[in-house]
Structure 1
């Protein structure tokens, strides 16, 4: 049995919901396991988000239905998605040049790791009361969209950017994680569509290596792994020691970024 598709799916399913940039992890793993170029691996990594979209749709199915009926949530998602597209699509087009140059995807993760650790201290020692999701303002939704759009850059974690932005805005951790993950669904669908539009040859290159069945297995394993990771993170986010999660995720981002830089 070829375990490469399974490995690709598990890497995506874990890294998408952690601040370690799933794109970067998929780039490295697929590049070394399949022997494809970094630019092709980057496009394939974006396509693999289909598995993570499946995880989010299954886990947040009730929230998705409610969002379609709730004006506040729907407005938030629309604003975040539009801003994400305006920022993210141009960065995606530039990604090939960045990967062929001296761009180091480990650097953004180092910055994000420091921010998450700092935010952990802020949550732990700040006496400022946190706000719920419904207390967010329109301009704050724009900031979340901007943060999510910047995640189109290799090495920039989408979940890390959006969650940390909402936490820094004073949003309760549970709401920050939940609505960050919910905002991921339309953004990821847009990323997959952009990939198919600009670089459909990437899937052909990967299909030649692992076959269409392998791509399907990778997507399914990504979806199942993602469900487990989402559930675990949201359970931790509900606890009074959520600051430990920020410390842990920030440290993880730093470790992975250093490994990425060495590779």
Structure 2
């Protein structure tokens, strides 16, 4: 087996799918099932573990925001820094409360249908969101920023992110769409979603190692240390490019195009996961 080639493919899959509403863990699940012959439940655990590369990218890209978070922790940050810290803490706690039980419940139930159906449903919901936004476009103008988000908003965003523990449900798709529907500016929604990935993904890796250590070790052994290192490097590089591109697209203010595009991507990914994962 060409471990470097496998690492490149898995890195590309992880780096591209993490930031789009097509569930990175699911795409890695499908890819590793084909490339490494992993059973679905083992590949699902491996998909969560593979988020290491995208964490590196998020830390690099949002290094200034991370510095601001640390300043807020030691009492040296601005009011907006404290609000960002509050946002990250609240949605991370809510995500853990929802996501960990869901992960433990579904880990042995993962099949191609379980993977594909939720993703397709998410895509349909995003399309319906776009229709609602279009019909109410004269009244709906997303202008809210971080400073205008309250406890209720943060809890809703945390719940949306926690549901992404389900196979086939995209974390970025859930959090970004939830914030846009709450009236958050698209660029701010993407930025906050990408920042919140860091603690959420670290928690997902921790839970995966804690409860599925044997499966992760087996998957890592199959891909080889060299292949794993290559996948992390590729995932980090492609993630940096995509983060920047998506933030620029969101900054354009084309909310309808953004929502409909995300919805269609999710539906297509869900259908392909069901067909080719079967």
The structure 1 residue matched to 2:83, chosen from 72, 77, 84, is 72
2:255 corresponding residue in structure 1: 242
2:44 corresponding residue in structure 1: 42
1:59 corresponding residue in structure 2: 61
The structure 1 residue matched to 2:154, chosen from 112, 118, 141, is 141
Question: Deviation digits for residues 188-237 of structure 1, max 9, x if unmatched?
Answer: 00001111111122232223322111111111111111111111100000
Distance (Å, rounded) in 2 between the aligned partners of 1:249 and 1:158: 13
Conservation of the 8 A alpha-carbon contact between 1:115 and 1:164: no
- Pairwise CA distance, 1:72: 0.9
Distance (Å, rounded) in 1 between the aligned partners of 2:36 and 2:201: 24
Which blocks of at least 5 consecutive residues in structure 1 are unaligned?
none
Which blocks of at least 5 consecutive residues in structure 2 are unaligned?
73-80
1:33 corresponding residue in structure 2: 35
Shift in alpha-carbon separation, 1:43–1:126, aligned structure 2, 3 A: farther
2:102 corresponding residue in structure 1: 91
Question: Deviation digits for residues 39-64 of structure 1, max 9, x if unmatched?
Answer: 11111110111111111101111111
Conservation of the 8 A alpha-carbon contact between 2:106 and 2:166: yes
Q: 1:1-263 to 2 correspondence within 5 Å?
A: 2-68=4-70, 69=72, 70-99=81-110, 103-124=113-134, 125-130=137-142, 131-263=144-276
Question: Deviation digits for residues 83-138 of structure 1, max 9, x if unmatched?
Answer: 000111111111223216x8522111122112222333444524234222211110
Tell me which moved more, 200-209 or 119-128.
119-128
Conservation of the 8 A alpha-carbon contact between 1:116 and 1:249: yes
TM-score of the aligned structures, taking structure 2 as reference length: 0.90
- Pairwise CA distance, 1:256: 1.2
- Pairwise CA distance, 1:7: 0.3
Count the aligned residue pairs: 262
Distance (Å, rounded) in 2 between the aligned partners of 1:180 and 1:6: 26
Distance (Å, rounded) in 2 between the aligned partners of 1:234 and 1:123: 20
Tell me which moved more, 114-123 or 148-157.
114-123
Distance (Å, rounded) in 2 between the aligned partners of 1:38 and 1:17: 22
Tell me which moved more, 103-112 or 76-85.
103-112
SS in structure 1 of the partner of residue 12 of structure 2: helix
